[in-house]
Structure 1
Amino acid sequence: MLAEPDRPSALADYRPSPDAIEVRSAVATCTSLRLEVAGVAADLIDAHTVLPDGTVVVAVDAMTPLGGLLVAARGSDGAVRLDFTHLVPVAVRARVRARVAVTGKIGRFDPAVLDSCDDDAVSGLLDLPPVALWAVEPDSVRVERHAATVQVPVAAYRAARPDPLAAVEAVHLSRLARLVRHDRHRMHLLASVVDPALTDSGTQLVPVAVDADGLTLRAETGYRHRDIRLPFHVRATDQTTLDQELRRLFPGVDRHLRG
């Protein structure tokens, strides 16, 4: 009898889907959301955080009309909807990356879960307004891009984590904007590999996204825009690896990577 060939375990092979990662990144980094319960919607600013298992915690005063509706909705499946708009953190046209909708069951936040939270989650909870905290347990997660909607399995959403660079992406894009100004010629050469028309001197290149797997430039002209993906050779999960990958793409830019 022939022995079965060695197979990597399913766990070793598993990597969360890009959709799930984008949703987790959006929920973690958006500073505002729209909360809807019982047909009433309200915008919350700097009033939510997300726990490692994907539970979203919102801060709403229980003594307000909205808080009263949350009290009445406790324990009901799909009673609460949270809407997030994931934006490009720089000034360009078409800034909306994705719209995320999370529906689920709401209940009062249980302080006992702090025992299973990491330092970032605890810090996020401490930064919330000092009012009643509510936990939203997702039962449906959707992401919409360019009018196409994708249903993200709740298990995949819970298993995913935000992109390693999501929390500091805006800072990196500011540095990359300086890099673009420094080396426009090399940027246009890279862009022209994707689309020769982008060698046009009237094209403006703007860094609009950077994540662990690559850099995205937006090529803008007076009448259109196009996003160009420049993949990294290795995943950039920290500052050192990111700088190494940027040096590979743009040799001689060390001083523009500082600060």
Structure 2
Amino acid sequence: MSVTAFRATEPSAAEQARSVLAAAGSLTVSTDGYRCDLVGRHILDGKGRLWLRLPADGHLAARVACAPRGALAALLAFTDVAPIAVRDRVRSRLTLSGWLTVEDAEADSEAEVDSVDLRLDLARVTLETAAGAVDVGLDELVLAEADPLTAFEARMLTHLADAHPDAVAELTRLVDPRHLHGVVRVWPLALDRYAITLRLEHARSHHDVRLPFPTPLREANQITRQIQTLLALARTCPRRRRPVTRP
């Protein structure tokens, strides 16, 4: 059975964007004449609004407070990096543009006294993947939800690569044989509710293939059964030379 025998399904661009925002631990903020990297400073609320909680005496907070009408044009950039040490680890990039404004401290009783909350009023959201760049509708972003595997994906992929390399190689039996020619290594690159993505490395290049699950999962605890189902299908396919999974 080839990978093309499955019904290919993927998260929407808005779902991918929400997943990147939920998983990212850092971001880069760019304004006119100023740029900084922030770690652990962004919050995404239930309404899809993004906030930055920063030191009240910080440079960025001061620039926003002094901006005309209290709004500073800004670009926020997030990078989705694969947890496995593959070539070209950047899986996607997400950029949010809009205006940063200072939120009234009295509106948030949990705010730290020495911090300030900056709200990003969105104007544009762009998601860039290997397939190209697309604009994400602002309403779609608000309505979308992060993938249920987002919080666990890195740990699951690392576990697959470290503890079950033979199983990862076994999954290549579901890949069209044409895509396996010259492959020397295979890695688990990504997981979402619809599929597992494998990175097929050649000596000097690479490409990725998605192996969709028979049915999309609804909860993270369903992933083991989905992987086992794919492995069972793989074992019914003709045995081919399997790529190695380690250098």
Do the structures match in fold with TM over 0.5? yes
Smaller-chain TM-score range? 0.7 to 0.9
Choose from 117, 121, 141 the match for 1:137.
121
Corresponding residue for residue 202 of structure 2: 221
Q: Distance in 2 between matches of 1:170 and 1:129?
A: 34
Which runs of no fewer than 5 residues in structure 2 stay unpaired?
1-9, 234-247
Q: Distance in 2 between matches of 1:106 and 1:58?
A: 9
Corresponding residue for residue 156 of structure 2: 172
Question: Is contact 1:173-1:208 (8 Å) kept?
Answer: yes
Aligned pairs for 1:187-198 (under 5 A) are 187-191=171-175, 194-198=176-180
Question: Is contact 2:61-2:118 (8 Å) kept?
Answer: no
> Tell me, what secondary structure is at the counterpart of 2:99?
strand
Which runs of no fewer than 5 residues in structure 1 stay unpaired?
1-15, 116-124, 253-259
Q: Distance in 2 between matches of 1:147 and 1:217?
A: 16
Corresponding residue for residue 132 of structure 2: 148
- The 1:231/1:184 distance shift into structure 2, 3 A limit, reads closer
Corresponding residue for residue 204 of structure 1: 185
Compare relative contact order (CA 8 Å, sep 6+) and give the higher one, 1 or 2: 2
Give the % identical residues: 26
Corresponding residue for residue 236 of structure 1: 217
Instruction: Return the structure number with greater helix share.
Output: 1
> Tell me, what secondary structure is at the counterpart of 2:56?
coil
Q: Distance in 2 between matches of 1:189 and 1:137?
A: 47
TM-score by length of 1: 0.76
Q: Distance in 2 between matches of 1:141 and 1:228?
A: 26
Spell out, residue by residue over 1:210-249, the C-alpha distance to the aligned partner (whole angstroms, 9 max, x if none): 0100100111121121111110112223233211111101
Q: Distance in 2 between matches of 1:149 and 1:209?
A: 19
CA-based RMSD of the aligned residues comes to: 3.0
Corresponding residue for residue 167 of structure 2: 183
Matched, 1:53 2:37: no
Corresponding residue for residue 94 of structure 2: 100
Spell out, residue by residue over 1:117-144, the C-alpha distance to the aligned partner (whole angstroms, 9 max, x if none): xxxxxxxx88x99622211121211112
> Tell me, what secondary structure is at the counterpart of 2:171?
helix
Q: Distance in 2 between matches of 1:129 and 1:55?
A: 22
Q: Distance in 2 between matches of 1:220 and 1:109?
A: 48
Displacement of 1:106: 2.1
> Tell me, what secondary structure is at the counterpart of 1:250?
helix
Q: Distance in 1 between matches of 2:55 and 2:108?
A: 21
Amino acid at match of 1:149: A
- The 1:180/1:204 distance shift into structure 2, 3 A limit, reads farther
Spell out, residue by residue over 1:155-198, the C-alpha distance to the aligned partner (whole angstroms, 9 max, x if none): 1111111111111100111222246423365233223xx23351
Aligned length: 224
Matched, 1:31 2:25: yes
Displacement of 1:95: 1.1
Question: Is contact 1:215-1:231 (8 Å) kept?
Answer: yes
TM-score by length of 2: 0.79
Larger deviation, residues 91-100 vs 128-137: 128-137
